[in-house]
Structure 1
Amino acid sequence: MKNAIPVYDICRLSDAPSGQKNQEFHVERFGSYVSRHPKSLHLSHGHSFYHMVLFTKGSGKHTIDFTQFTVKPGQLYCMIPGQVHSWNFSGDVDGYIINFSDNFFRSLLLRPDYLEQFIFFSGVSNDGVIQLKNSVLERVVSLFEELLSQSELVKTNGNTDILRVILLHTFLLIDETTAKVHSSAVAGSRQMLMKNFRRLIEQHYKTIRLPKEYADLLYITPNHLNALCQEMVNTTAGELIRERVLLEAKRLLINADLNISEIAYTLNFKDNSYFSRFFRKYEKISPEDFRARFVTTK
């Protein structure tokens, strides 16, 4: 399958000389990062890595998976591999950018799913955009500055564990200031169940569309699953499944090399007519018009 949306790896975006690029981690001031990529950042693109941007100066718009956010100082963006985004800045911007691979923590942590505990790495656009309070912002900036200085030392000593430790400290600090406080173990178990449901959707959205099938995988009843979704995210289980299918449809539609039939096949619809009806029903626009509107706005 051809892919018209560029998907960047860490080495391609790094400022290090060829042969000295780290395939698992990169940290840089955002101003210099933008100046080196003046055009590519404004076009829709994806990453094969985790991506964090902290703004300390500037304004503009940032679109993540077709949801647009207003850029402000003190704002932190956290994205996971596979998300599609683009920038549209107004004037000069600055801050910090951190890119790290899915494997970056695996040699340090026993739990391969460790990052999944942080809601800002859920892959849901709204969850990954955080406006930091000034007191927290100062601490995060200090940690990012430490990452910058330590990354220079790593180039000579090769020991990246200090980068991992500082980055984990940053995650825990952000999580501490943004996570909802749950007063009981029951609330914690509901949160874990919701997280498992989202994980199952991510794994099976192309082939499993019914809430009952997900409820069976979670060993609960469909009514229990719907009540959980209403309580935790104020929507139904079926809507969460549809949102994920529609998101992938949008990502594929901005790929000019794929026709509607190919997209329908990729998403496991029985034919392109059924896919088109599904898309129009929930997006109030045809797949063809969505594609045309997206292209004309770039």
Structure 2
Amino acid sequence: MIKKNPDTATIPVYDLRHIDAEAQHGLMVARFRDYLDQHYPHLRRPHRHSFYHLVLFTKGSGTHTIDFETFDVRAGQAYFMSPGQVHSWQFEGDVEGYVVHFQPSFFTAFLHNDRYLERFAFFSGRPERSVCQLPGSELGRVAGLFEDLLEEVRLGKTGAIDLVRLRLLEFFIRTDRVCGGDKDDAPAPQKSLLLRHFRQLIDEHFRELRLPREYAALLYVTPNHLNALCRDLLGTTAGDLIRDRVLLEAKRLLTHADLTVAAVADNLHFDDPSYFNRFFRKYVGSTPDEFRKQHLHL
């Protein structure tokens, strides 16, 4: 049975030892059906993990939600989640496939570039990039990779964990070829790097810094340059990215029943709870209380 992390003050967070007490080397690999039989009752409600989580569906229907965006379950679909993202499931009938969990440190001792996973859009933390529908011609091949993972973990021979890392990296690269976009149309590396740094700064400072010019100063660029970068690469403004991150955290906090709306507003550094209510309703279309009731009664 999964235990909630007692130290968290927000939405329930599960770490790897609570999911699988016997997980070794910061890794868990399982058939999805077996995983559901053990954990599904506890994971239907919104929750998040302290580790990377990925699933390949080979059969099934229903829906799953990543950071409050809902996706239909289909055979051949893979989804990827980075630590901290929120998700839940609502399955219909039998669902089969494979599930892998690994700690952020799982690849760092293996790869010279400890930020290698950042090259894959599905690990960007953006829900719309987290799901990939693999064609039938590719599904059999990647399913074979997961069968190899299960076998290596089961046998535990010398070098098994390194082979698991290699098979996972092959899966990431094959998936990226299908859903990673046209590399010839990719933005210049310096633009991508600047945008990634901007997103990282937002994640670190969104509670206290709300203005694009404050982030532009940290990045040593002008506010106009930062705004132009966001419009060029994402079709949105720097201010929109900051606002959306605040709203995402508000949604995450509101799905914890023990926090009042006023406490959520305070956590996000809103001086006036009534202003937080107006802000949330303007951009989400419902009040914080309405949003909470909808998601706590899933």
After TM superposition, the score normalised by the length of structure 2 is 0.91
Alignment partner, residue 230 of structure 1? 231
List 4+ stretches of structure 1 deviating above 6 A.
none
Q: Aligned pair 1:63/2:69, yes or no?
A: no
Q: Equivalent residue for 2:3?
A: none
Q: Does structure 1 conserve the Cα–Cα contact (< 8 Å) formed by 2:45 and 2:296?
A: no
Match of 1:135 among 131, 134, 137: 137
Structure 1 CA distance, aligned partners of 2:287 and 2:202? Answer: 24
Given candidates 149, 152, 170, the residue that maps to 2:151 is: 149
Does the 8 Å CA contact 1:10/1:22 hold for their aligned counterparts?
no
Root-mean-square deviation (Å):
2.0
The residue number in structure 2 matching 1:7 is 13
Residue in 2 that maps onto 1:26:
28
8 Å contact kept, 1:11–1:23: no
1:192 paired residue number: 193
Aligned partner of residue 90 in structure 1, secondary structure: strand
Check 1:195–1:135 CA distance in 2 against 1; reply closer, same or farther (3 A cut): farther
Counterpart in the other structure of 2:205 = 204
Question: Is the 8 Å Cα contact of residues 24 and 103 (structure 1) preserved in structure 2?
Answer: yes
Structure-to-structure mapping, 1:154-193, within 5 angstroms = 154=156, 157=158, 159-183=160-184, 187-193=188-194
Q: Alpha-carbon deviations, 1:63-105, whole Å to 9, x = none? A: 1111111111110010011111111111101011000001111
Quote the Cα distance in structure 2 between the aligned partners of 1:58 and 1:186: 36
Number of the residue aligned with 1:35? 37
Distance 1:101 1:186, change over 3 A: closer
Paired with 1:32 and 1:151, the residues of 2 have a C-alpha distance of 15
- Identical amino acids, percent of aligned pairs: 49
1:28-77 Cα offsets, whole Å, 9 max, x none, are 11111111123112111111110000001010010111111111111001
More divergent stretch after superposition (275-284 vs 55-64): 275-284
Deviations 1:218-270 (A, max 9, x none): 22222222222122222111111111110100110111111122212211222
Q: Sort the Cα spacing of 1:197 and 1:136 in 2 relative to 1 into closer, same or farther, 3 A.
A: farther
Aligned residue pairs total: 292
Q: Which residue of 1 aligns with 2:78?
A: 76
Residues 271-290 of structure 1 mapped to structure 2, 5 A cutoff: 271-290=272-291
Letter in 2 for 1:11: R
Where structure 2 has 5 or more consecutive residues not aligned to the other structure, the ranges are: 1-6
User: What TM-score does the superposition give when structure 1 sets the normalisation length?
Assistant: 0.91
Residue 78 of structure 1 aligns to a residue whose secondary structure is strand
Q: Secondary structure at the match of 2:125?
A: coil
1:4 Cα deviation after fit? 6.5
Residue among 91, 100, 104 paired with 1:98: 100
Determine the C-alpha separation between the residues in 1 that align with 2:143 and 2:195: 32
Aligned-pair distance for 1:294? 2.2
Task: Say which of 30, 45, 48 aligns to 2:47.
Answer: 45
Residue of structure 1 in register with 2:241 after alignment = 240
* Residues 1:242 and 1:186: Cα distance change in structure 2 (over 3 Å): closer
The DSSP-based 3-state class of the residue aligned with 1:38 is: helix
Indicate the SS of the match to 1:46.
strand
Distance, in Å, in 2 between the alignment partners of 1:148 and 1:260 is 44
Q: Which runs of 5+ in 1 are unaligned?
A: none
Whole-angstrom CA distance in 2 between matches of 1:98 and 1:184: 31
Deviation at 1:21, TM superposition (A): 3.0
**Distance verdict in 2 for CA 1:184–1:251, change over 3 Å:** closer
| Cα drift, residue 158 of structure 1 | 7.4
Please give the alpha-carbon distance, in whole angstroms, between the structure 1 residues aligned to 2:186 and 2:135. 28
